[in-house]
Amino acid sequence: MNFDPAYRTQLAEQYPEEIVEQIADDVLHAPLEHSPGQAIPFVFTKVPDAHEPPILFVPGFGGGIINKASFAAELAMNNASIILPGQNRHKIVEDAIHGRNATVAQARNYLAVLDHTMGAEPVNIVAHSYGALIFQKMVELSPSRFTDSKTVFMAPSGSIHDETLPDLGRRWVASTRSEMNKKRPTEFPDDKGVTGKASAMTLLANLPRMKQEIGELAHARIDYPALVKRVGSLTIMSFAEDRMFPEDRMFSTLDEAVKAGATWLTPVSPDKVLDGTMRYSGDGAVHDDDQYNPTRVVGSLMQALYR
């Protein structure tokens, strides 16, 4: 993985060099026992005085190290160590139980990163978008691993009861357009489209696998009542102006999750207004707000994890 030099410079303008080095320069690799000879890249920002277990970030569709670099850096600034995986896009290894399942394949890869870095030590979880479906499979593959994990889903897929592939495609186009809006307030803008290019390169590396993932995104659902019982705690964050997974389309599913014991919130940030008072704003919180406005999202995330 080659980290874009201009994007690294942008990170270094906002975050300490020791944090940027761990994200942009110190890429590690975890071997994949289920795919002999293969490995998955990851970075591990270690904060010496962190009071909680590290966070394993489970990225979404096409997500990886470059896309979520600003988010990882902001977490490190808030005394949270984070394990941030990239992706391995080689062929999907089938098995007798799951068959040829792309979500299971990603789940195995991220479990390999976790085993390589943490062994059986405790870890908290943050999953974004498609990452929520992947984490659900991680729990199925390793049922006892996450019983004490504080877990946060951000803009989770698998949360719309009446999902269809055409509707998912239309919302993806709307979401992409909303995130390209130059008038939208962003703390960490990506004017050169580095993160979008990184996602495209990841997905195009294996077109059959991408097609398989899209199909699973459209048809898989999260069983929130079951999942709540299998993790330490579950918080769901929906973003106010998310065109990919709008709050109103997820309402019935997330209401079901809350009744089962989950917490549901929208990330907000305090903004000063002209009279010197403070107001809390979630305006402009789009699907990938964690990378565009990391301070807002991480601030709410810290409250959700460590309240």
What secondary structure letter does DSSP report for 128?
Answer: E
Tell me, what CATH number does 292's domain have?
Answer: 3.40.50.1820
* Residue of 174, 158, 134 whose CA lies nearest to 217: 158
The overall pTM is greater than 0.95: no
For 131, the domain range is 5-306
Domain total in the chain: 1
Among 47-61, 142-156, 223-237, 263-277, whose mean pLDDT is lowest?
Answer: 263-277
Judge whether residue 277 has pLDDT over 70: no
Judge whether residue 1 has pLDDT over 70: no
Residue 112 pLDDT? 96
Judge whether residue 118 has pLDDT over 80: yes
Judge whether residue 266 has pLDDT over 90: no
What average pLDDT is seen over the chain? 90
Q: What angle do CA 265, 268, 274 make, to 5 degrees?
A: 150
Convert the pLDDT of each residue in 2-18 to its tens digit. Answer: 788 889 999 999 999 99
What secondary structure letter does DSSP report for 154?
Answer: E
Convert the pLDDT of each residue in 87-105 to its tens digit. Answer: 988 888 777 778 889 999 9
Starting at the edge strand that comes first in sequence, how are the strands of the sheet with 28-31 ordered? 28-31, 39-45, 82-85, 55-58, 124-128, 150-154, 233-237, 263-265
Residue 75's SS3 state is: helix
Residue 276 pLDDT? 63
* CA 177 – CA 185 distance, rounded (Å): 14
Q: Find residue 270's DSSP bridge partners.
A: 280
Among 35-44, 85-94, 153-162, whose mean pLDDT is lowest?
Answer: 85-94
Judge whether residue 106 has pLDDT over 90: yes
Residue 278 zone, left/alpha/beta (φ > 0; ψ -120 to 50; rest)? beta
Token look-up 């330490």 returns 232
Residue 107 zone, left/alpha/beta (φ > 0; ψ -120 to 50; rest)? alpha
Judge whether residue 72 has pLDDT over 80: yes
